[in-house]
Chains A and B, each alone.
Chain A
């Protein structure tokens, strides 16, 4: 059981929040995370969040779907049990397109979503994981990790001077 302490700055306006993130990072303080009720445009740039590589995951999962679908149809109808259907060749590629397309989409979508769940730690739990319940309603919460020897008052002043309406302390037991 390890516990970590965080200082939470509560903001009421998204523009104030964006400016605060910029100046707090410029002051050399590391921001642990920012919790917002909806996606804020421009927050990735100021927080330095890298562009997600999930589209690449989707592409390769889709490619797996395409290959699997083509292999399945060619093997089953072309080699395992060849039959003449409507005078078509055994491997009638044009009529394999629909199933290939559907399996491509299915694998791309599920592969990407499952990866998203795993890397973001999204799984069904019974606990309430948020640091401040208002961050899923109408407040923006910035969390800064409190390490040994950090001056709480200094962080408090830094957050307040950047527009935080409230500063709280929160201990999270992991």
Chain B
């Protein structure tokens, strides 16, 4: 039974069969690593080295190695934290929210996007932990019975909410990702020829057989996890925004922050997914699975969320004026025309103007343009957090304590270093794990491959005539 839509573009091109999907995805897991991958890993490891050195300096000499001062107590660290957490949000959006909306195009990109989520959250977590100054005491953020007079943590503080939100988000995303990986690990296990590979993937695939009963439960579990992850992902960036919004600093104390941060997070996350997927599809020859249709769909999400972010910037400015509070008004005038005007206008250009180019279909479907714009969006979103944090702090209520912030080389090193950490993890994932969810792509193949002939015509000849069955 076929459902070939004359309107919708196929999601899997090239007339693939089920066996082709297995072959195409398992190829790079089974083959020897290629030169391009090795080179990329080499570069990432250099950056990871920079990260380790910068963290060593931070731990050994203390956070005085960073450019923070008494007025600007939060700068690059929290900027990077929010930036990385935001990037992570696209993975959950693709795997959970698009699952609930029954968007089939998510199937070939959800695996890599979820991996990106997990690695981005790992990078994000580095910053608050390092900012503590004494990370070996990081367990103090947990409500543990202690010897300091059973003084508990402060549950009224958004910083503590963050501890719970980020750790729940990380563990639930990890579980969701792993559940999806189990059937694909089983496929690799059953194809494996070497004893080490077979044992490793047997351990990872958790005894999976593909039994109909297990699939039935698996689908239920995925649906419920998606239902849980959807409010979770919205709560995470809401809580991150409350780190700012519940304080009384002009420029931070606004009710618009939660939705504005969530839209910005999805915006930057999709940009990062595009950056990664455009490289991955080329390197691993997955053009038939990650098609221009996928790129276009993601670009549409970028246009939508980018526009929401743009409207939020303007609303924020308007409300600052309309509130009549002179400190609030000054904070915004200072953002746009003060000493950090260049950061503000970089943010405006990258986040508000560039995504509007995607209204043109030819730009939406151009890989080069998409790649360049996705980088611009990521730069813009970094500046957004920098602008919110540093420009609101550097000129506080007392003009005598007004300062400028400048990062040290260690600040830069930790930030650039987390990119090394991120890409090292992503490259290892891309080599040893299936980058495309084989089982899910197989499940949409019949309806979305654009091939209208029956997969094996001879099978139905000596079988009974196909009757109608319920299909999704």
Report A-chain residues with C-beta under 8 Å of the C-beta of B161: 98-99, 102
A residues in contact with B463, CB < 8 Å: 13, 16, 19-20, 162-163
Q: Are B203 and A124 in contact (CB under 8 A)?
A: yes
Question: Does B282 have its Cβ within 8 Å of any Cβ on chain A?
Answer: no
A1-32: which residues lie under 8 A (CB-CB) from chain B? 11-16, 18-20, 22-23
Q: Which residues of A sit under 8 angstroms from B171, Cβ to Cβ?
A: 106, 109-110
Chain A residues within 8 Å of B208, by CB: 122, 129, 136
Instruction: Verify A38–B439 contact, CB threshold 8 A.
Output: yes
A138 at the binding interface (Cβ < 8 Å): yes
Known pairs A15-B466, A35-B209, A103-B168; A44 contacts B239 (CB<8 A): no
Known: A54-B220, A92-B156, A102-B235. A108 touches B190 (CB 8 A): no
Bound CA–CA A96/B218 (angstroms): 33
Q: Which residues of B contact A47 (CB under 8 A)?
A: 212
B143, B154, B207, B470: most-surrounded residue (chain A CB, <10 A): B207
- A72 touches B (CB below 8 Å): yes
From B214, which residue of chain A is reached at the shortest CB distance? Answer: A120
Given contacts A99-B155, A113-B221, contact A37 B442 (CB under 8 A): yes
Q: Is A33's CB within 8 Å of the partner chain B?
A: yes
The answer to whether B42 has its CB under 8 Å from any CB of chain A is: no
Docked-complex contact B211 and A116, CB < 8 angstroms: no
Given known pairs A106-B171, A113-B221, the reply for A44 and B143 (CB within 8 Å) is: no
Kindly identify which residue among A36, A101, A133 contacts B235, using a CB–CB cutoff of 8 Å: A101
When each residue 103-133 of chain A gets 1 if its CB lies under 8 Å from chain B and 0 otherwise, what string results?
1011011101100110111111111111101
- CB of A18 within 8 A of CB of B209, answer no
Secondary structure call for the B interface: helix
B470 in contact with A45 (CB, 8 Å) = yes
Q: Encode contact with A along B6-28: 1 for CB under 8 Å, 0 otherwise.
A: 00000000000111001000000
Residues on the B chain within 8 Å of A20, using CB: 463-464
Q: By the criterion CB–CB under 8 Å, are B165 and A19 in contact?
A: no
Interface contact A52-B464, CB-CB below 8 Å: no
Contact string, A128-159, partner B, CB cutoff 8 A, digits 1/0?
11110111111000000000000000000000
Pair A113/B232 contact, Cβ less than 8 Å? no
Contacts A39-B216, A117-B206, A126-B199 given: A16-B211 contact, CB under 8 Å? no
* CB-contact partner of B150 in A80, A92, A124, under 8 A: A80
With A37-B210, A52-B216, A137-B187 already in contact, 14 other A-B pairs whose C-beta atoms are closer than 8 Å: A16-B459, A23-B464, A35-B210, A35-B211, A37-B183, A38-B215, A41-B443, A41-B471, A77-B152, A102-B235, A122-B206, A128-B202, A136-B189, A137-B19
* 27 A-B interface contacts by CB (under 8 A): A16-B466, A18-B469, A33-B209, A33-B211, A34-B212, A36-B215, A37-B439, A40-B443, A41-B443, A41-B470, A52-B216, A77-B155, A81-B151, A98-B158, A99-B161, A102-B161, A106-B168, A109-B175, A109-B176, A116-B218, A117-B206, A122-B214, A128-B202, A130-B190, A136-B183, A136-B190, A163-B463
